[in-house]
Structures are given as C-alpha cells and as structure tokens.
Amino acid sequence: MQKNKIYIKSYGCQMNVYDSNRILDLFKNQNYEIADDPKEANLVVLNTCHIREKAAEKMYSDIGRINKLKRESATKNFKLVIAGCVAQAEGEEIKLRAPSVDFIVGPQSYHNLPNMLKTNDSILSDEFTQNEKFKNLIYNSSGGVSEFVSIQEGCDKFCSFCVVPYTRGPEFSRPVNEIVIEIEKYLKKGAKEIIFLGQNVNAYHGIGGDGKSKDLSYLIDKVSELENLKRIRYMTSHPIDMTDSLIKVHKSNHKLMPFLHLPIQSGSNKILKEMNRKHNVDFYKKIVEKLRDERSDIALSSDFIVGYPGESDKDFDDTMKFVNDINFVIAYSFIYSQRPGTPAQKKDNIPLAEKKARLSALQSLLREQQKNYNKSFVGKKMEILFEKKGRHTNQFIGRSIYNQSVFIKSESNLINKIIDAKIINSTDFALESSV
Ligand code: SAH
Ligand code: SF4
Ligand code: F3S
C-alpha cells in the first residue's frame, strides 16, 4: 500500500506557523510522512491568512495549482484541505468558488482534521473551541534552537480595519501548567529560546496552579525557572495591555530579551481614534518612557498602516514625526486593505498612488533608523544565539539579544551555542560577526 504523505503551506503570521507544526504532528501520529513538495503528497493543507486582500487571493491562485495535481493523481485519493483564517472567514464562499476543496477547517477546530478525513462526513469545521483544541493537539519538538509556543489566541479589541477578532475568535489563554509542560518537551530536545505567541499576547490571563488567573509577567518569571531555557520573547502586544508589572519584568528578568514588538498603526490621534485603537500617541509614548526607565537599551519595533480612510497629509506627517521621536530598530508597514466584514470596509478614499508614496516615505525612514541602529554595534561585542546554517560554507546565522540577524563564519559547528561575538560589519538588515 502506498504511504500517506502530507504537504502543508503556511501563509501569514507566526501563529499559523505554529498551527502548521501542530497539524503536521497530528498527522505524523497517524503514520503520515511529511512531503517537501505537494507533488509527492496525497494530503495538501493550505493554512491560510485573511489579514490583507493579497493574502486571501494567494490562496485561490494556489488552489488552482493544487487542482491540477489533484486531477493528475486521480488514483491517489488526493485530498485538499483549506485551514486557517480564510477558511474561518470565507468557508461557505470557498465551497462555492472552489468545489475541488475537500475539507475546510478554521484555526480553532483543526484538531478535528484527522477525524474529519476518516469519517469524510463534514466539509466545514469552524467552531471556536480553543480549550478543546489545545487539549487535543500533539506537541513534538522540531528540534529547533528557538520554538514558538502559542499561549493566547483571539482578540476582543476590534480595531476597525482588522479581521482577526472574526477569524480567531474571542481572547483565550492557556493554563500555566499546560504551557510549562509543552516548553519542557522542547527543552529536552535542546531548545534554548521560547517565543510566546498570541494575537494579543500581553492580554494573557491563564489559570495558574493555585486556580487563580495569572498575567504574562507571572508566566515569564515562572518559565524562566526552567534551567535550560536561556531566552524568552513574546509577540504581538497591544499598548493597552502593557501593564506596569510586564514593563518591570523587562528589568528584573534577565532571560527576557530586551526587544518588544508593540504595534501602534498610526502616529495621528485622529486616525487612532477612527481605527478604534483605544489609546492615543501620548499613551504609547508614556509606555516607551516607562520601558526605557526600566531597561534603557530596550529595542522597539512596531506595525504601521498607511492610507487608512481619511488619513490626511497632516495625519501622515504625524506618523513620520512619531517614528522620528521613538526611533524604531525595525518596523513593518502596510497599505490599508479593505477587509470584508470589518467596520472600516466601506471606506477607502485615499488614491493608490498616494498610499504608495506614503508607504515608500515611511519605509525609507524606518530603513534609515534600522541601518543606523545596526551600525551602532560595529566594533562591539554581543551575545548571539546561533540557530542555523547559512547559505555559504561554514556560515551560521543567529540572533542578538535585540533580535537582529547575525552572520558568522566558523570552522566549528555553532548551532545552539550562545557566544559573545564581535560585530565586524553591518548592513540595513543584519550584522556580521567574528568569534
Ligand atoms: N494583534 C496585533 C497584530 C495583528 S495583524 C496588533 O494588534 O497589533 C498584523 C498587522 O497587520 C497589524 O499590526 C496591522 O499593521 C496589519 N493589518 C491588519 N489589518 C490590516 C488591513 N486591513 N490592512 C492593512 N494592514 C493590516
Ligand atoms: Fe487586529 Fe486590533 Fe486585535 Fe490586533 S488588536 S488583532 S490589530 S483587532
Ligand atoms: Fe493572518 Fe490569521 Fe495570522 S489573518 S496574520 S494568519 S491571525
């Protein structure tokens, strides 16, 4: 009998990467092998993203390609699964637009997938059953130096542009002991770093061993008791959940890395209000001040949307001024994309050329800040955790405590080693070091 083989493609954020790993673990447990190419597989899973229009379109064009494989392998019992956020948001529409899809499963119900395949009786599973999901998943380490751990899911914030509250459901936090058990598994396989994931990771409020609700600062301190764990990071945070206890833990806990991804989206109070972000620019600046008081070297990163409906030249200038004031070490920026079902959907009044011009101006300012930041380390020593091999012979890639990518040449294998390395060169996006 031919062996079952699964191929999975992940779109979108790190939470999808984590989910894809869990889906692979579920099917490995059913004796599936992992295929590196969809051509070799008889089960193809597209783990999709709905955040911007382009991401969702990509799924439909990939379905077209997979259909061709499906037709060519009529004898292979070939199944196509659409998982992730598009499955959740547009399950019914996918059924109509792409009848070749066999199963549709949302981000909070994919633990049902092996069963759905066996019974073949359900095409759509889109319940928000977070609790049940995490209990039924399998957590095998990929053997990586750094491992993602989803600790929180969903969002209750309802920013007016964003689909996440509809695709991932309400905020949910996993219990502390479940998270510790998962991390211990990864540490046994040699992991040194854990990256806590959540759509609003700092809204974490899981149940502790004493039956009481615990916040993220508690969880960070708790897992840092695990001796083999050397580095802790978390993403993505919302400014209104940046509590004083979380800010303080950046000083008191040395395993917590001095890097924070804290999206603001815009530097204009008017636009922040329109976006329903629940805070203004001063509120964000105050958090940065408090963070820098506790940990002066903390590296800050953010997300921005340009061309939001009603964004005037002045609003955009405010964003540029804000970026100049804060000085980000890296940041991501996007052109506003109208999303179905969101309150901002109907409004989109900035011409594309203007949006593109603003994006380009913002990105060059951000790139300049990143370049200067990286340059400031040349000649200094930094603690780097090396994670993988680079493209060139004897080259290894790691990350600094500030999350920069660092390249090094070495005759000996540096993977999974923490080294105090000298930075000898910098580019816009990375650092080069020597032992
Ligand atoms: N939970 C996080 C991030 C969610 S999505 C937060 O609250 O910040 C990641 C990023 O995608 C967002 O920070 C935002 O910058 C961008 N994004 C979300 N919806 C978008 C849309 N409709 N158009 C363009 N960018 C969007
Ligand atoms: Fe989306 Fe806002 Fe929730 Fe972030 S906080 S996931 S941007 S709704
Ligand atoms: Fe995309 Fe869903 Fe993540 S919409 S960004 S995959 S939470």
**CATH class held by domain 285-375:** alpha beta
Domain spans, the chain = 5-131, 141-257, 285-375, 381-434
Average the pLDDT over 308-329 and give the result.
97
CA 411/CA 65 separation, integer angstroms: 42
Residue type, 164: V
Ligand 2: centre distance to CA 264 (Å): 10
**At residue 69, does pLDDT exceed 70?**
yes
Residues with CB under 6 Å of ligand 2 are: 155, 157-159, 162, 164-165, 199-200, 238
Give the DSSP letter string of 132-160.
Answer: HHHHH--------SEEEEE-EE--S---T
- CATH level 3 topology of 141-257: Transcription Regulator spoIIAA (3.30.750)
CA 366/CA 256 separation, integer angstroms: 25
Percent of the chain with pLDDT over 70: 99
**At residue 331, does pLDDT exceed 90?**
yes
Ligand 1 atom nearest the C-alpha of 263 is: 8
Please state whether the predicted TM-score (pTM) of the whole model is above 0.75. Answer: yes
Decide whether 141-257 matches 285-375 in CATH topology.
yes
The CA-CA-CA angle for residues 143, 146, 151, to 5°, reads: 105
pLDDT of residue 120: 82
Cβ contact 327:371 at 8 Å: no
**At residue 162, does pLDDT exceed 90?**
yes
Question: What pLDDT, in 10s, does the model give residues 343-380?
Answer: 988 778 899 999 999 999 999 999 999 999 999 999 99
Alpha carbon distances (Å) from 53 to 58, 136, 213: 9, 32, 37
pLDDT of residue 102: 94
Secondary structure E strands in 327-394: 330-335, 381-389
Query: Between 371 and 73, where is the model more confident?
Result: 371
pLDDT of residue 1: 60
Ligand 1: centre distance to CA 121 (Å): 35
CATH of 5-131, one of 3.40.630.10, 3.40.50.12160, 3.40.470.10, 3.40.50.150: 3.40.50.12160
**At residue 75, does pLDDT exceed 70?**
no
**CATH class held by domain 381-434:** mainly beta
What confidence category does residue 122 fall into, taking pLDDT thresholds of 50, 70 and 90? Answer: low
Closest CA to 117 of 156, 72, 80: 80
Average the pLDDT over 37-57 and give the result.
94
